[in-house]
Amino acid sequence: MLGILLMGSAYAQERRISGRVTSAEDGAPIAGVSVIAVGTNIATQTDELGLFSISIPVSVNELEFRFIGYISKTVTIGSNTNINVALDLDASELQEVVVTAMGIERSARSLGYSVSEIGGDELTKARETNVVNSLAGKVAGVRVTSQSGTPGGSSKIVIRGVSSISSSGQPIFVIDGLPVDNGAPQISTVSSSVPQGSAGADFGNRAGDINPDDIESVTVLKGAAATALYGARAKDGAIIITTKKGSQGRGTVTINSSARFDNMLKVPEFQNEYAQGIQGVYNIANTNGWGPKISEVQDRTFPNFLGEQVTLQAYPNNYRDFYETGGTYINNIAFQGADDRGDYRLSYTNTEQSGIVPGSKFSRNNIGINAGRKIFDGLDVRGTVNYNRSTSDGRPVQSSNNPNVLQSLVLTLPRTVDIGLVRDNYVDPITGEQITLTPSRNGNNPYWIVNNNNFGNIVDRVYGNGIVTYKPLEWLTISNNFGTDFYYEKRLGTTRNGTIGDLTGSFFQGNIQNRVINNDFIITAETRLNDDLGLKVIAGHNIYENYYERILSNAEQLTIPGLYNFSNAASVLTTNTSNKRRLVGVYGDIGLSYRDFLFLNITGRNDWSSTLPISNRSYFYPSVSSSFVFSELLETSSWFNYGKLRLSWASVGSGTEPYSLAFVYNPQSAGFAQYGYGSQFPFNGALAFSAPGTIPNANLKPQNQTTYEVGADLAFFNNRVNLDVTYYYSNTIDQIVSLSIPQSTGFSFRSVNAGSVINKGFEAMLGIVPVRVNDFNWKVDFNFSSNRQSVELPDEIASYTVQSGWSGLQVKAETGKPFQIYGVGWERDPNGNIVIDEATGLRRTIADQPLGNVFPDWMLGINNSFSYKGLNLGFLVDIRQGGVLYSNTASTLRTSGLGYETLQNRGDRFIDRGVVLRDGEYVPNDVPVQSMQDFWGQMSTSNTEGNIFDASYVKLREIVLSYQLPSKWLQSGPNFIRGASIGVEGRNLWIIKDNVPHIDPEVNFFGPTSLGEGVEFNSVPSTRTIGFNLRVQL
């Protein structure tokens, strides 16, 4: 009875307080804030939505809110049961902790290099299916380009410029200490005459498998000093992802649902006045716009593609109407909780996406578990397992030399073609044959392609790790992090019999598997040597192995149409390849701190790489960084709150690809022939081998990157103005390159250490809070970056081709210059005037001309965020200035007479601006072109300069509007709902300004594995996305 009374007494004396903690700076919820009942040991933490709920004795009248990097706040409870708190940033930044290389947490003030951290919320506000895209515009010095608008398509990320002339320079992705694969392996499904790594469908990059809903934070390590402990793998930067863990307090269930709708961001501008034909005469055989003026032939009828006699009329939307409204549905549910002995989090996300191209679909399911447990005091274990499966269908084929290339078919639909008629008549119902748009049957009906031929893939991927941490002594920590990441991908591309260009049908199946194994063993000792001096020493050992295998089978001549079984093919060619690389490293880090305002870090790592010659396989690289919080030495000021100088220097080495050293003969699957029709082996019963195209180099040494960086972090006006500025310089020397050599030697390349790439740049991040009044906040963030790349080549090398294109287009490196597009250009007189051919009135051309830098001069992201109570509005404007883009779409629309610009001067006498060479002198041109069809014909694919444009743009990248439902509303409703928010989100909403006609200037046809940029070639149009989001916490 006594017991019951006591319990009753205790119950009667408790009350439950709930509420939400946000940042005073931007109104964003803060997760993990400790909420402590003052005077007791009762405490809880806020969840992902910043929500908390705590039962406290009635005697407690104050709650204290504590979070690193913020000024703690104590609030009197009074009679309130709902308490919302806004925490101010701690201007002294004394406690802010940042995750750095190897998962080492450091106080931000101690870092001698620039680090950018993005909270998980930023990534899921306006969700991207590919997490790489979410970083666009948010981090200074980070540049993201999408390869296409393909659902599940790939994106390329470049940090502080490209530092290599032989590899694409993608940063390493590290999830909870495990380096994971971000490959985008290209398998040649069509002719080898097409640029490597470019042809065919965009199958995505593997970072796209990561579930954004599981991300707690992303740290971008940009400089070599920041990444030095990762060694060679991080020479192009590192993306450090920390996943969410269960937080203490009552277990919660979070549901996050988004529905989004996509349409084409930029629709090409067509003319709608002229029909198909030649020089003004109608001809059904031409899919173009050089026929008669529609309005002038209304008294006549002409055959359409079905053979019907019709009066011509324009269908202005036939291109737009081919594409559909895409849809994306992302649903996540996460269960999480923790107590003082352990934590868990289980998350499941389903993503279903349909693209704007009919029949294109992408589906992904992610499930992740992250759990940790304290075995006993000093010994902790943690395990993570992530499984995802993604499937896709209808990935459009891009580029050329493949009958399935879609975009060119849709672009060249004559203006008089009714897309509805094409949609309903792509196959003959009686014969089953394709109905083509021309009687000569020399092109495919786009609906035949999308309804019959399919390029898709399935990826099964598992990654995870186990971490054991043992702390035998207060100052000593020993941990081991073992992880693996493996995936299996099956790619299937089918072409049905009857497809023009592949009448007998074909298919390919590619099986790819990749495995990463990584182990880091780390010992950390941390102590204070005296009252002023702190010491932290880290020693580690790393083993890393990567294995890749690919089996590709091409089957041709199918007996039964639509049956994609190898036994159904007359010819099957299978090739396989594999490679394995290993890396062993030991590393150390010594950190000294003096009175918490002066810091020095020295790191060293020695790697042994399996890919280098035994004599050169060991290489060492050091780094030194220092930070000086000089504001600690100044008197307290009302306007200047914080100042830090940072300085770092690092030297990083890196190896090469496996099997680059020995002279070997390679088995050949086919003999080359232009336009993609070489002979496959066995040919006439014979197999074949070939000497290598590259003379290997048994004495390769590691290439080396030296970087220094200086910068400052400053805070003014009670932390309402924050400025981080950085200048960096990196020089990557002894580049391991396949140097182009005269082919008369019998070889095309020689593997050498030669050349260097210098990147120097300036980054600035400025955060301003112009308004902070009561519950209203307005914050503006500017992310500015400018990088200047410069290549140095040995004297005997005039230029180096980093990416070959077609018809003379190449991306090349040249001493003293950044990467530039080269190609066929207009011939010019000494004054820069275009030289006109006197015989034709057309421009004269000249091959191999530099036509502009592929990289921008500078990038600027401007993010505005407003918050008022639970209402948040943010929009991000992304600006790129400089660089050029080659557009094949512009070429197609101009040469075909379908672009709106081809209306100019049609039928009129037109004299192009320029000069003609007459009697040895250049005089103003007075020779008219014979027709505008001839004039625009100059802009063909083989003319690069005619299709080069300024790639600058201003884009409204993102708008997010969200509303956090007040707790009191929820309390009046079903009491199991603890928090809820609704939002409207938009991505890629508006190209405010650009200079490229017809297409989004941001498309980069060369994918993540290529060094090339600045080219669009029959790419799937990029999309605008608008969606809705609902987030509920139970």
Partner 1 sequence: MKFKIKIIGLILTAAIAQSCEKYLDINENPNAAERVDPDLLFSFATTSYINLRSSGDLYIPLALAGQSISSGGNNPTGWGLVSEQQYDISPFSLGNAWSTYYVRGGNNLKQAIQIAENSEPVNSNAAAQSKVLLALIAYETATLYGDVPFTEAWNLDISYPKFDEQKTVLEGVIALCDNALGQFDEVSPLKISGAYDMFYGGDIARWKRLAKSIKFRTLMTMVDADPDKASQIAQIINEGGMVDSPEDNFLVPYETASGKRNPKYAINLQYNGGVNFFFGSSYVVDFMEAIDDPRLPKFFTKPEAADRYVGLVPGANGNNDEHVRISTELHAADAPEVVYNYQEQLFYEAEVYARGLGVAVDLIRANELFKSAIEESCVFYGVTRADAEAFVDRLPTYSNAADLIYQIHYHHWIDKMDRGIDAFTQWRRSGPEGEEVPNLTLPVLAPQGGLFRRYEYAPNELNNNPNAPSQIIRYFEKTWFDL
Report how far residue 198's alpha carbon sits from residue 397's, in angstroms, rounded to the nearest whole number.
Answer: 10
Quick one: 14 or 848, whose CB is closer to partner 1?
848
Report how far residue 283's alpha carbon sits from residue 416's, in angstroms, rounded to the nearest whole number.
Answer: 12
Residue type, 304: N
- We find the least distance from the C-beta atom of residue 796 to partner 1, in angstroms, to be 7
- Residue 73 binding partner 1, by CB under 8 A: no
- Residue 691 binding partner 1, by CB under 8 A: yes
CB under 8 A: which stretch of 137-145, 221-229, 606-614, 872-880 binds partner 1? 606-614
- Residue 620 binding partner 1, by CB under 8 A: no
Quick one: 375 or 664, whose CB is closer to partner 1?
664
- We find the least distance from the C-beta atom of residue 475 to partner 1, in angstroms, to be 11
Can you say whether the dihedral through the CA atoms of 114, 120, 121, 127 is positive or negative?
positive
Residue 378 half-sphere exposure, CB side, CA atoms within 13 Å? Answer: 9
Size of the site for partner 1 (CB under 8 A): 103
Report how far residue 68's alpha carbon sits from residue 119's, in angstroms, rounded to the nearest whole number.
Answer: 15
Total Cβ atoms within 10 A of residue 968: 11
Residues 503-542 that bind partner 1 (CB under 8 A): 503-504, 506, 521, 523, 539, 541
| Residue 387: Cβ-neighbour burial (10 angstroms; 0-12, 13-18, 19+) | middle
Among 251, 303, 316, 682, binds partner 1 (CB under 8 A): 682
CB under 8 A: which stretch of 161-169, 339-347, 435-443, 877-885 binds partner 1? 435-443
- Residue 674 binding partner 1, by CB under 8 A: yes
- Residue 40 binding partner 1, by CB under 8 A: no
- We find the least distance from the C-beta atom of residue 286 to partner 1, in angstroms, to be 6
Quick one: 539 or 768, whose CB is closer to partner 1?
539
577: left (phi over 0), alpha (psi -120 to 50) or beta: beta
CB under 8 A: which stretch of 29-37, 310-318, 575-583, 826-834 binds partner 1? 575-583
Backbone angles phi, psi at 123, to 5 degrees: -85, -20
- We find the least distance from the C-beta atom of residue 614 to partner 1, in angstroms, to be 8
- Residue 560 binding partner 1, by CB under 8 A: no
Residues 931-970 that bind partner 1 (CB under 8 A): 942
- Residue 582 binding partner 1, by CB under 8 A: yes
- Residue 668 binding partner 1, by CB under 8 A: yes
- Residue 695 binding partner 1, by CB under 8 A: yes
- Residue 727 binding partner 1, by CB under 8 A: no
Separation of first and last alpha carbons in the chain = 36
Residues 366-425 that bind partner 1 (CB under 8 A): 403
Backbone angles phi, psi at 206, to 5 degrees: -75, -15
Among 285, 306, 560, 633, binds partner 1 (CB under 8 A): 285
Among 42, 688, 766, 965, binds partner 1 (CB under 8 A): 688
CB under 8 A: which stretch of 580-588, 634-642, 727-735, 892-900 binds partner 1? 580-588
- Residue 663 binding partner 1, by CB under 8 A: yes
- Residue 676 binding partner 1, by CB under 8 A: yes
- Residue 281 binding partner 1, by CB under 8 A: no
- We find the least distance from the C-beta atom of residue 623 to partner 1, in angstroms, to be 20
Residues 728-787 that bind partner 1 (CB under 8 A): 740-748, 750
- Residue 316 binding partner 1, by CB under 8 A: no
Report how far residue 281's alpha carbon sits from residue 436's, in angstroms, rounded to the nearest whole number.
Answer: 21
Alpha-carbon torsion angle 299, 303, 305, 307, nearest 10: 140
Report how far residue 754's alpha carbon sits from residue 975's, in angstroms, rounded to the nearest whole number.
Answer: 68
CB under 8 A: which stretch of 406-414, 487-495, 798-806, 948-956 binds partner 1? 798-806
Among 96, 556, 829, 857, binds partner 1 (CB under 8 A): 556
Total Cβ atoms within 10 A of residue 795: 6
Alpha-carbon torsion angle 281, 283, 286, 288, nearest 10: 50
Contacts of 473 (CB under 8 A, 6+ apart): none
Helix (H) or strand (E) holding 970: helix 967-972
Fill in the per-residue mask, 174 to 193: x = in contact with partner 1 (CB under 8 A), - = not in contact.
Answer: -------------------x
CB under 8 A: which stretch of 330-338, 375-383, 495-503, 758-766 binds partner 1? 495-503
Among 311, 559, 578, 904, binds partner 1 (CB under 8 A): 578
Quick one: 320 or 541, whose CB is closer to partner 1?
541
Tokens in use for 943? 């003319």
| Long-range contacts at 636-642 (CB < 8 A, ≥ 24 apart) | 638/718, 639/716, 639/717, 640/714, 640/715, 640/716, 641/91, 641/92, 641/715, 641/716, 641/717, 641/718, 641/719, 642/91, 642/92, 642/93, 642/713, 642/714, 642/715, 642/719
- We find the least distance from the C-beta atom of residue 60 to partner 1, in angstroms, to be 43
| Residue 608: Cβ-neighbour burial (10 angstroms; 0-12, 13-18, 19+) | middle
Report how far residue 731's alpha carbon sits from residue 704's, in angstroms, rounded to the nearest whole number.
Answer: 8
CB under 8 A: which stretch of 51-59, 94-102, 802-810, 964-972 binds partner 1? 802-810
- Residue 9 binding partner 1, by CB under 8 A: no
- Residue 588 binding partner 1, by CB under 8 A: no
Tokens in use for 991? 């190209």
Report how far residue 889's alpha carbon sits from residue 882's, in angstroms, rounded to the nearest whole number.
Answer: 20
Among 104, 379, 478, 965, binds partner 1 (CB under 8 A): 478
CB under 8 A: which stretch of 31-39, 173-181, 673-681, 919-927 binds partner 1? 673-681
- Residue 920 binding partner 1, by CB under 8 A: no
Q: In angstroms, what CA-CA distances link 240 with 26, 133, 148, 222?
A: 24, 15, 25, 11
- Residue 847 binding partner 1, by CB under 8 A: yes
Largest CA distance in the chain: 121
CB under 8 A: which stretch of 154-162, 261-269, 661-669, 1010-1018 binds partner 1? 661-669
Tokens in use for 745? 């030697």
Among 774, 839, 908, 919, binds partner 1 (CB under 8 A): 839
DSSP letters for 890-921: HHHHHHTT-BGGGGTTTTS--B-SSEEEETTE
Among 251, 316, 432, 671, binds partner 1 (CB under 8 A): 671
- We find the least distance from the C-beta atom of residue 687 to partner 1, in angstroms, to be 6
- We find the least distance from the C-beta atom of residue 102 to partner 1, in angstroms, to be 16
Among 95, 248, 365, 436, binds partner 1 (CB under 8 A): 436
Residue 852 half-sphere exposure, CB side, CA atoms within 13 Å? Answer: 22
- Residue 567 binding partner 1, by CB under 8 A: no
- Residue 689 binding partner 1, by CB under 8 A: yes
Quick one: 663 or 776, whose CB is closer to partner 1?
663
Residue 224 · residue 1003 · CB < 8 Å: no
Quick one: 511 or 680, whose CB is closer to partner 1?
680
Total Cβ atoms within 10 A of residue 385: 14
Among 61, 425, 610, 833, binds partner 1 (CB under 8 A): 610
3-state secondary structure of 971: helix
Quick one: 525 or 1026, whose CB is closer to partner 1?
525
- Residue 307 binding partner 1, by CB under 8 A: no
DSSP letters for 673-732: -GGG--EESSBTTB--EE--SEE--TT---EEEEEEEEEEEEEETTTTEEEEEEEEEEEE
- Residue 255 binding partner 1, by CB under 8 A: no
Residues 806-835 that bind partner 1 (CB under 8 A): 806-808
